[in-house]
Amino acid sequence: MPANEELSKRERQIMDALYMLGNGSAKEIATTIREPEALDTIRVTLGVLEKKGHVRHRVQGRRNLYSPTQSRGEASRSALRRLTRTFFGGSPGKAFLTVLDLTGDRLDDEDLDRLQEWVTAQAKKRKGK
């Protein structure tokens, strides 16, 4: 399980590439992020990410293939939990309302319908307790 620490911009970029690829070599990652000249930096950063527990590698022939240790969904949930603890006192409701406040004018009818259904279902669950 990866440590609960922030990732640098470069680390996030590499992780995004790995999630897109599923697994890949440093060269494949460099190609994916369109920075073939950054191959040495990517190799070093992959080592850092491995020490932090975010990636693992296996040797295939003469190259190392890297893959994320968590699914993108697990990593997203972990990041959201940290964000919620840090900025919203651990309150998912406050975080949710802030996101709605930022995006409310861009929600389409389908999104609003799904939100209404979710709120109604949650209210029913509470009354059923």
Q: Which residues of 73-83 are buried (b: 16+ CB within 10 A; e: fewer)?
A: eebeeeeeeee
Task: With cut-offs at 50, 70 and 90, classify the pLDDT of residue 1.
Answer: very low
Domain residues of the chain, as ranges? 1-89, 91-129
In DSSP terms, 21 is beta-bridged to none
Q: Residue range 82-95: average pLDDT?
A: 90
Q: At residue 34, what are phi and psi to the nearest 5 degrees?
A: 60, 40
Predicted confidence (pLDDT) per residue in 12-71, tens digit = 999 999 999 999 999 999 999 999 999 999 999 999 999 999 999 999 999 999 999 998
Q: How much is the pTM?
A: 0.66
CATH class of 1-89: mainly alpha
Asked if 49 and 11 touch (Cβ cutoff 8 Å), the reply is yes
